[in-house]
Structure 1
Amino acid sequence: MASILPGLRRAARPLSRDLFICHQCRKQSIPLGRLKLPVKADLSRTIRFNSSAAAFPESNTIKNSPLTSLSKTISNAEKEKAIPKKGYFPETSSNTVAYWLLGSAASVFGIVVFGGLTRLTESGLSITEWRPVTGSLPPLSSADWDSEFAKYRASPEFKLLNAHMTLEEFKKIYYMEWTHRLWGRFVGLSFVIPAIYFVARRKVASHMSLRLLGISGLIAFQGALGWYMVKSGLKDDLFAPGSHPRVSQYRLTAHLGAAFVCYSAMLWNGLAILRQNAALSHPSRALVQLEHLSGKHLSFFRKSVAGLAILVFTTAMSGGLVAGLDAGLIYNEFPRMGTGFHPPASELFDPFYSRKEDRSDLWWRNMLENPSMVQLDHRALAMTTFTAILGLWAYTRFNKRVKSAMPNNARKGMLGVVHLLMFQVALGISTLIYLVPTPLAAAHQAGSLALLTGVLVLGNRVWIPKRTLRLVQQRVKQAAAVHPPVMRPMGAQAFKADLNALKKHGPPKPLRSTRS
């Protein structure tokens, strides 16, 4: 035993130098090929005793080991999970789609105003057939004009109102209605064809593609509803005998309401896309703005704006009933209606409009079919809208907490709504006093849609879209993960506090190592 120990002592130093790699070399990732190994060192023994033997590319056994394959499989799976799978639809819609929606909304705004002119000039019943394709062209020959005029002469409107109308006068009202219908076809084609293109080119998000489909269906329904409205004025049995030939006020209001809904959908979605893309371009700033809007001081204001939109829409629909019944031609003074602020109760609830023996439909038929009651309802809704908008403006102006929390663009939007309201009230009173002249009546109808536009723009500025908020939060988290926040220098108060603690307790003691 004593003879073996000296030999082991002599071999211990070369063994540790030849068969092991120091920790410092492994830490610096020095390739083994650059290490100077003694000639006597056996490579197989070195791999056997070396813990970093996997670094040798020549070792097929280590490269193809089950543990190495399992680690690669797990690594690839984690990489696949980290990369989000992209679907067919993009995450957000393009700004081009937003501008196209706003342009389509402007076209619908124009056709609403032109439709009012068509009604005021009594041109809507000049075309007695609905031909969506072949009706795109006007009569091109004298025979075609004679045929169209013959069809109009068979209508109740010609027999009761326009029995002395000439062919040249007929052409004027015919071109008014033809232009109105042609404009409607243009609205449909200019919306459906670009919508298909944007979806095919993947410029529209998935939820927005469904909305575009809904608006396309609404446009088609609007065209069918327009003909259904015109049809009500071409038959004697659809209105009272001996009365003025006109379309049904119910169908006219439904046609007008569908146009308002279609316009609102285009406008709202166009503004929503622009707002979302602007927020995602600066997610940190947008997150602060959205969190500020979600504060309790603006909660009542946001809900009130939504209520205003419903109130303005309802008032406009009551105006459609007034137009359908020509109720603006009676009681042409304001604010009084005859000898008082409202007509007599016997006139407001006239049994003439009831169609049941038990008079159970007396109140609602008078509200929808009695011109006096319909005008009173429209006045009441208009004054309610006027009071509500001014009250909300005063709330944001004189409530200090709400005023300080109101964003600048929301404050301007609220003021713009007040200006549109004043303009619309002036148009309404002037239209009533001057016995519904065509320019003022058309401007009053356009003013109702303009007022609804102002309320929708204001709502878009203060509303909190959940999807946009979620996308903004995701972008902020991703940015924080890629670029972690940098520690900023402490403030003056924190510096003084640390300085006082240093004077009182002295410098902190260094931590002792637990390693022996």
Structure 2
Amino acid sequence: MTSFLRSDRSQAVAIWLLVVAAFVLAMIVVGGATRLTDSGLSITEWRPVTGAIPPLSDADWAREFAEYRQIPQYQQVNQGMSLAAFKTIYWWEWSHRLLGRVVGLVFFIPFVVFAIRRQIPSRLYVRLGVIFLLGGLQGAIGWWMVASGLSERVSVAPERLMVHLGLAFALLGALVWTALDAWAGWARQTLPSPWGRGALLLTGLIFVQILLGALVAGNDAGLVYNDFPLFAGRLWPDDYLGAGLWGTLAHSQGAVQAHHRIFAYVLTVVAVVMGWRAWRSSYLAPDSRLLAAGVAAAVVLQALLGVATLMARVPISLGIAHQLLAALTLGLSVAFAWRVRRI
């Protein structure tokens, strides 16, 4: 029995995965600050290894600044920017990329150590391998996103930002779920109830809302229609339609903000109803009821914070707080979905 338990669970592995999740959360926050300060295009090359070393001399800074002055963002938006101002946005983007490298090391090095010591539950190897591959892919997707703003645009393509941010949140959710599995061990019995499906549905809705929020961010749509609940005094944005279906869904400021708002109403109702039903349920364990109530409260708070952020025209502090709370809400929802599926 002892050898079975050793191969079935590992609290050390669980703590390691939660630490990695915390680093991913930090990267989401720094990435949000990088976007809000318009810093994401300040580094115009992708150097996975040598890029970890920042400019160390005046000549290095002059070269980096010269490369930035060749792209449309400088020529059309930041014409005349000083070197000191460039260094500010450069450090944001460099810090974001460096943190991505650190996340990779924080995952890979302990993974090798735990694997050598045979502390990783065997059933988690495939899942951890997928997480590692997706983490590596995230770096390539980040450059794919940045590349979209280096030739014809003054910012990155909104749909590429959505993919980049969506993968970060997916990795965060996968790490939390896997950490809980490593801590608790294999589920000897799974609850055959609609709560498991409902909790997964709620988590999926939260994730979709995050993707819609990424489109809002990518289109700077928080800078328009800053009244609430109307759109410049109207029930619907005047500029809703874009150039075709994709232009409307992904590139119309009015459309992406309207979709984010409407989905927020739906998500809030679903979360509150599910939280209320779970709280009153005698079928669920007390910790499951607490998690459901926590998710409902987080969704309501996030909706209120979203309104405040919109009406304040997205100051950096509120924008970062909104993204941070989105990550915490998703983490709570993943924990709820994991818990209600187990006895």
Report the Cα offset of residue 124 of structure 1.
Answer: 0.8
Larger Rg: 1
What one-letter code is carried by the residue in structure 1 that aligns with 2:328? A
Report the Cα offset of residue 255 of structure 1.
Answer: 0.4
Give the alignment partner of residue 250 of structure 1, picking from 153, 159, 167.
159
Let me know the Cα RMSD of the aligned residues.
2.0
Distance 1:364 1:175, change over 3 A: closer
Report the Cα offset of residue 90 of structure 1.
Answer: 6.2
Report the Cα offset of residue 302 of structure 1.
Answer: 2.2
Give the alignment partner of residue 386 of structure 1, picking from 265, 268, 275.
268
Residue in structure 2 matched with residue 167 of structure 1 by the alignment: 83
Report the Cα offset of residue 252 of structure 1.
Answer: 0.5
Q: Check conservation: 1:125, 1:234, Cα contact below 8 A.
A: yes
5 Å-filtered alignment, 1:5-154, equals 91-154=7-70
Residue in structure 1 matched with residue 313 of structure 2 by the alignment: 435
Distance 1:365 1:160, change over 3 A: closer
Residue in structure 2 matched with residue 349 of structure 1 by the alignment: 241
Q: Check conservation: 1:90, 1:202, Cα contact below 8 A.
A: no
Say whether residues 1:419 and 2:297 are aligned partners: yes
Structure 1: which 5+ runs fail to align?
1-82, 240-244, 280-286, 354-361, 470-516
Secondary structure of the corresponding residue to residue 435 of structure 1: coil
Q: Check conservation: 1:199, 1:209, Cα contact below 8 A.
A: no
What one-letter code is carried by the residue in structure 2 that aligns with 1:254? V
Report the Cα offset of residue 415 of structure 1.
Answer: 1.4
2 CA distance for matches of 1:202 and 1:220? 24
Report the Cα offset of residue 338 of structure 1.
Answer: 2.7
Residue in structure 2 matched with residue 260 of structure 1 by the alignment: 169
Say whether residues 1:452 and 2:330 are aligned partners: yes
Deviations 1:137-157 (A, max 9, x none): 111111111111111111111
Aligned residue pairs total: 342
Secondary structure of the corresponding residue to residue 404 of structure 1: coil
Residue in structure 2 matched with residue 405 of structure 1 by the alignment: 283
Distance 1:341 1:301, change over 3 A: farther
Residue in structure 1 matched with residue 226 of structure 2 by the alignment: 332
Residue in structure 1 matched with residue 251 of structure 2 by the alignment: 369
2 CA distance for matches of 1:396 and 1:136? 48
2 CA distance for matches of 1:460 and 1:275? 11
Residue in structure 1 matched with residue 341 of structure 2 by the alignment: 463
Secondary structure of the corresponding residue to residue 299 of structure 2: helix
TM-score by length of 2: 0.95
Structure 2: which 5+ runs fail to align?
none
Higher relative contact order (CA 8 A, sep 6+): 2
Secondary structure of the corresponding residue to residue 178 of structure 1: helix
Deviations 1:7-33 (A, max 9, x none): xxxxxxxxxxxxxxxxxxxxxxxxxxx
Report the Cα offset of residue 91 of structure 1.
Answer: 3.0
What one-letter code is carried by the residue in structure 1 that aligns with 2:136? A
Give the alignment partner of residue 302 of structure 1, picking from 187, 196, 206.
196
Task: Show structure 1 runs of 4+ deviating over 3 A.
Answer: none
Q: Check conservation: 1:90, 1:203, Cα contact below 8 A.
A: yes
Report the Cα offset of residue 207 of structure 1.
Answer: 2.1
Deviations 1:99-157 (A, max 9, x none): 00000001000100110000100111111111111111111111111111111111111
1 CA distance for matches of 2:101 and 2:219? 28
1 CA distance for matches of 2:151 and 2:303? 36
What one-letter code is carried by the residue in structure 2 that aligns with 1:148? E
Give the alignment partner of residue 204 of structure 1, picking from 100, 116, 120.
120
TM-score by length of 1: 0.64
Secondary structure of the corresponding residue to residue 203 of structure 1: coil
Taking every aligned residue pair, what percent have the same amino acid on both sides?
Answer: 39
Q: Check conservation: 1:93, 1:208, Cα contact below 8 A.
A: no
Give the alignment partner of residue 178 of structure 1, picking from 85, 94, 100.
94
1 CA distance for matches of 2:99 and 2:231? 39
2 CA distance for matches of 1:250 and 1:119? 14
Report the Cα offset of residue 339 of structure 1.
Answer: 3.4
2 CA distance for matches of 1:173 and 1:392? 43
What one-letter code is carried by the residue in structure 1 that aligns with 2:307? I
Q: Check conservation: 1:334, 1:433, Cα contact below 8 A.
A: yes
What one-letter code is carried by the residue in structure 1 that aligns with 2:56? L
